[in-house]
Amino acid sequence: MKNLKYWLLACRPKTLSLAASPVLAGTALAAADQGVIHAGILTATLMAAMLIQIGTNLHNDAADFERGADDVSTRLGPPRATASGWFTGAQVKFAAWLAFSCAFLLGVYLAYRGGWPIVALGLAALASGWAYTGGPKPLAYTALGELFVFLFFGLAAVVGTYYLQTGTADAAAWGVGALLGMPAAAVLAVNNYRDRDNDAKVGKNTLAVRLSRRGGQIEYALLMLVPFAGLLALAWRWPVVLVVLVLLPLSAALVRRFLREAPGPAFNVILAATARFQLLFSLVLSTALVLWAVLAR
């Protein structure tokens, strides 16, 4: 039971909502357009997305330790499996590849339903999950981390899900993908802002390291607030999406806390709250779109 608990912690369950949120939103958008949801496709897409997220988390755990970026004595974030000695790096990497393999098997079914565009997207997602902390130039060690999250946990996930459900890639799907990608990227922005000083010491040149502290604060504020302006672009087609504006005070409160809090472990709470906000944004938006689909029938 103890090992199971450690494996669950290693998978970072609090981050899995980042993978689920765009899938739910893409499916809801398809329902608003087509009036139908393919449950089998939704289930397989959700499972594949979360397995890729788990694989990425596990590979990141082992790779960061091997590169010396995870030091238990200086770490500000939650404990990691390899650095804490719960499992060896080889065990964690094996688990990562197992998760990627299961995602690949689900991808075979999704490729059958969606054709070559889904094959290309699925392989790109798997490769990027490994490249995030793998290879000679890991994305997590550059200023491209937030862009990676925006692309794969926003645009690609929503558009890919919508395409699987409808066989098309409507412009609205790209817009919803951008709306979900920004708060997803904000989660990483919190993580990198918290770890800025330690990352700089080990050569992990994230965007937070490249920017000043003030620059990191501006980045977070934009990622959390701009999506509400983007809702207006969708409202001409689905006015019901404006209900998501009820979350604006919550977003503003998180931004204020980010600006006022001194860098340190307190940012673990902000990180978790930002992930919950992204999920809540997706759930409210998705519910509004599904209700629109039901009422329009």
Q: Which pairs from 129-134 meet CB under 8 Å and 24+ separation?
A: 129/52, 129/53, 129/55, 129/56, 129/59, 129/100, 130/55, 130/56, 130/59, 130/100, 132/56, 132/59, 132/60, 133/56, 133/59, 133/60, 133/63, 133/64, 133/67, 134/59, 134/63
Q: How many CA atoms lie within 13 A of 153 on its CB side?
A: 31
Q: Are 52 and 23 in contact (CB under 8 A)?
A: no
Contact 258, 270 (CB under 8 A): yes
Q: Read off the pLDDT of each residue in 51-63 and give the average, rounded to a whole number.
A: 88
Closest among 102, 80, 79, 108 to 92, alpha carbons compared: 80
Cβ 159 vs Cβ 167: under 8 Å: no
User: Does residue 151 have a pLDDT over 80?
Assistant: yes
Mean predicted lDDT score pLDDT of the chain: 89
**Which among 56, 62, 108, 55 has a CA at the least distance from the CA of 81?**
62
Whether 72 has a pLDDT exceeding 90, the answer reads no
Torsion of CA 98, 71, 267, 144, to 10 degrees: -60
State how far the Cα of 52 lies from the Cα of 152, in Å rounded to an integer. 11
- Decide which of 75 and 197 is more confident: 197
Q: For residues 72 and 266, what is the distance between their CA atoms, to the nearest angstrom?
A: 17
- Tens digit of each residue's pLDDT (9 = 90 or more) over 176-189: 999 999 999 999 99
Task: Give CA–CA dist 82/70, Å, rounded.
Answer: 9
User: How large a percentage of the chain has pLDDT more than 90?
Assistant: 55
pLDDT at 297 > cutoff 80: no
Three-state DSSP class for residue 211: coil
Is residue 273 exposed (0-12), middle (13-18) or buried (19+ Cβ within 10 Å)? middle
Alpha-carbon gap, residue 197 to 95, rounded angstroms: 30
Question: Which of 9-18, 20-29, 124-133, 149-158 comes out lowest in average pLDDT?
Answer: 124-133
pLDDT at position 128 is: 82
Mean pLDDT is lowest, of 19-28, 45-54, 90-99, 288-297, for: 288-297
* Closest to 103 in 3D by CA, of 137, 55, 174, 149: 55
Please tell me the pTM assigned to this model: 0.91
For 39-54, write each residue's pLDDT tens digit.
999 999 999 999 999 9
- Spatial separation of the C-alpha atoms in residues 237 and 232, rounded to whole Å: 10
Residue 73 has pLDDT above 60, yes or no: no
Work out the pLDDT band at 1, boundaries 50, 70, 90.
low
